[in-house]
Every structure is written in C-alpha cells, then in structure tokens.
Amino acid sequence: MLQKLTETVDYIQSHTSIRPRVAIILGSGLGDLANDIEVENKIVYRDIPNFPVSTVKGHNGQLIFGVLSGVEVVAMQGRFHFYEGYSMQEVTFPERVFKQLGVEYLFVSNASGGTNPNFKVGDIMFIKDHINLMPNPLIGHNEDELGPRFVDMSEAYDRELLKKAMRVADKHNISYKTGVYAGLTGPSYETPSEYNYVRILGGDAVGMSTVPEVIVARHMNLPVFAVSVISDLGGLDNVAAVSHKEVLAAVEKVTPKLIVIIKDLLKAL
C-alpha cells in the first residue's frame, strides 16, 4: 500500500503544481461543479499508476486540479464502487492519495434513495451520520503510518463543517434536510422491504457509496462534509420503479444549488 501510494503521489505531483487543500468527490450527475473550477490540470484515471477506472455512466473518470472560491482543490469526477468488482481497498485508494497530497478536508456528494417519509425527490440532505451495511474498508492489515487500528467514528461527519453548510444554505434560502445515510453494496436498487429495513434501523436515505470513503478519511483524521440529493423514494407504502436515468435527472435539477453551497463552504474554511 505505502509503495503504491508513493508511486501514485509522485506521478500526480509531477503533473500539476496545484497542492490541493480540499478534495471533492463528485457523485452521480454532479460533475457540473467542475465547470466552476479554474482548471490547471486534468488527469484521467487510466493514466495514473495504481488507480482504478470508473465504469459507471455519469462518472467521467478524471482528477481535476485547480482553484475554486480561491481554494486549491482536486475534484474527483467519477468515483469507484464495491459493486464494480473492486476491493474496498481499491475503492478507497483515492482518499489515501488525497491525504498524501496534503488535503485537509474531504467533501463528498452522492445521489440516494429517500427512506424518510418526510423527504421528497430533489431534497438536499446534509449527512450527519451513517450506517455501514458494507464490508469495512479497514479489514485486513493496518498500516500504522496511515492511521490507527481502531478508529473513532463518533464524529464521522465534521460538526463544524455541517454548521457552516447550514448557514450557507440559510443565507441563500436553499432548503435542506439533515439525516443519516445508509450504505449498501448495490448494484441493484433496494426492494421496498429493504427500504423499510433501512428506515427501521434509523436511516433517512440509502445509497451505494460514500460510507467506505468516509471511514478511510476518518482513519487518516480527515474532516468530512457530505451531502446527498434524494433522487428517488422507496418503502412499503411508496413502491415505485427506479432507473439510473431517473436518478441522474433528479440530481441535475438541484445541482446549481449544490454548487452554491460547496463554493460558499469553501470560502468559509
């Protein structure tokens, strides 16, 4: 792991002068944020040593280095998922790289299915906690240089970043929810009973990403801010078919609001 990290970081640093303070993971349909970045370099995943390659429609598969709201950033346009056949260590390899690049904060976005009956499609949900229903990415040998064997997850999502995001949303009159995100492996969408199961456990939304990334970020003591767009609804009383196309369409409508929130949150760091 450490040797691979060194190879990857050396390659990236030789291809950009940007030294990012913030890493932003752009989830399904949220790649438009990249248009607001003053771009210095784009590096496609397939050119980066040891990097997986994104296979999901709506994920372009490149790192974007530049400046956003006066802050040097790296944006991950396309993430990796366990359901693509990658190991959890491969899925979370980018977060390891970001830490070694000097990143101080991780911002994460995703599209998710709403299980909270008070949610509707298009809602923005700031994630305040999560429920991990996937294999833990820290299983196996622990690299002490990267983080401790046992990781405190009492504040998986940074409370100060969450407060700042709420103030930004209030300032711009952007409505939002806060809630708990449940991470499942996918790639099948959840059955009505599974939606209900997540709700009983305490989840407000469910998706197929984010949780492994956050666990690894916290292993390395990286503060995290994460936001979901509610792209569909499910449950025993709300049975409806869902497709990836519909998910992307739902996210597209709310993307401008997310861009405002993330840009102003960067200014508030």
Mean pLDDT by groups of 10 residues along the chain of 269 residues = 95 97 85 88 94 68 95 94 95 97 97 92 95 98 96 98 98 97 95 93 97 98 96 70 69 87 95
> Pairing mode, if any, of strands 62-68 and 71-77?
antiparallel
In the numeric block, the tokens 């949610």 are attached to 119
pLDDT of residue 147: 97
Its pTM surpasses 0.85: yes
Task: Supply the range of the domain harboring residue 142.
Answer: 2-267
pLDDT of residue 29: 57
How many independent structural domains does the chain possess? 1
Residue ranges of E strands in the chain: 22-26, 38-44, 62-68, 71-77, 105-114, 124-132, 177-183, 205-207, 224-233
Domain at 97, CATH number: 3.40.50.1580
In angstroms, the CA 221 to CA 241 distance is 39
Q: How many CA atoms lie within 13 A of 210 on its CB side?
A: 33
99 touches 224 (CB < 8 A): no
DSSP state of 140: S
pLDDT of residue 57: 57
pLDDT of residue 250: 72
The DSSP bridge partners found for residue 107 are: 24, 225
